Amino acid sequence: MIDVNDVNGRILYEDDDHKFIWLGVDDVDSSDEIQTMQYLIIDHNRGVLLDPGGVHIFAHVVSAVSRYISLDNIDVIFYSHQDPDVSSGIAMWLGITKAQIHISSLWVRFLPHFGIVDSKRIVPIPDDGSTIKISENAELQCIPAHFMHSPGNFNLYDPKSKILFSGDIGAAVFDEGKEYVFVEDFAQHVPLIEGFHKRYMASNSIVKKWCERVRAINPKIIAPQHGALYAGESITEFLNWLSNLKCGVDLM
Ligand code: FE
């Protein structure tokens, strides 16, 4: 069960001019839909929003963001991939912010199908990744994570907080009322992540390469878009588990 204090989220990292914030959970009954988690990075009072999600959670995310920063100060919206739970709110977000949208170049031409989209505000991320400069001395890294699960898929790494936003990678599906914020017992967490990763991730060769890349980055927290966050020992356990997982075409 998510603590009532966490409905408003948690600041995962904070220094004088930089914050990485988990925006909490929507308190509406969500048993029929995929639960999503949104994050906000603030640097020198400028904001970057990560996978802000679809239409039905728009109001929740707007009010969560507004607790920390003015919407006028959101400069960047990052989309890990094209799924509706990630990006279907795009027309609304373009309407209430001045932000530029960063998303894989593969999906740029699909975005107008979610509503009226000004293509001048879309920044395509090339296949081998990019960096997003957010202030004089802070930049974010778009890390390629293709075929996990989307063929045009990126993670976002924030070197200041050492937090890796992993999109769908590491995602868990909880039973109603059984949610928790951080993975405490990885063995108990496996049944909540196994089905999704086996079905959605392309193959063991793909996930293995991603695990090697993440080990080299050595993040302090892995923050997925669904489920629970990984820190410390649970990162090692998750990477060991995932790099040995047979999935996707291995099983078909
Ligand atoms: Fe997805």
Range with the lowest mean pLDDT among 134-138, 190-194, 200-204?
A: 134-138
CA angle 49, 90, 106 (to 5 degrees): 90
pLDDT at position 9:
87
Q: Please, what's the b/e burial string for 52-80 (b: 16 or more CB within 10 A of its CB; e: otherwise)?
A: bbbeebbebbbebbeebbeeebbbbbbbb
Distance 171 CA to ligand 1 centre (A): 10
Distance 95 CA to ligand 1 centre (A): 24
What is the rounded distance in angstroms from the CA atom of residue 245 to the CA atom of residue 252? 14
Domain ranges across the chain: 4-250
Percent of the chain with pLDDT over 70: 94
| Residues that place a CB less than 5 A from ion ligand 1 | 83, 168
Question: 233-243 and 204-217 are packed helices; what angle lies between their axes, rounded to 10 degrees?
Answer: 150
Distance 150 CA to ligand 1 centre (A): 7
Distance 17 CA to ligand 1 centre (A): 32
* Alpha helices (H) in 67-185, listed in sequence order: 84-87, 90-96
pLDDT at position 176:
84
User: Is the predicted pLDDT of residue 229 greater than 80, yes or no?
Assistant: yes
Distance 227 CA to ligand 1 centre (A): 13
What is the rounded distance in angstroms from the CA atom of residue 28 to the CA atom of residue 132? 34
Give the pLDDT band (50/70/90) at residue 112.
Answer: confident
Per-residue model confidence as pLDDT tens digits over 16-58 = 999 999 998 766 555 566 678 999 999 999 999 999 998 889 9
Decide if domain 4-250 falls under CATH 3.60.15.10. yes
pLDDT at position 1:
64
Q: Taking residues 129-151, what's their average pLDDT?
A: 96
pLDDT at position 35:
76
Q: Taking residues 139-143, what's their average pLDDT?
A: 98
Give the pLDDT band (50/70/90) at residue 137.
Answer: confident
Distance 136 CA to ligand 1 centre (A): 33
Distance 13 CA to ligand 1 centre (A): 26
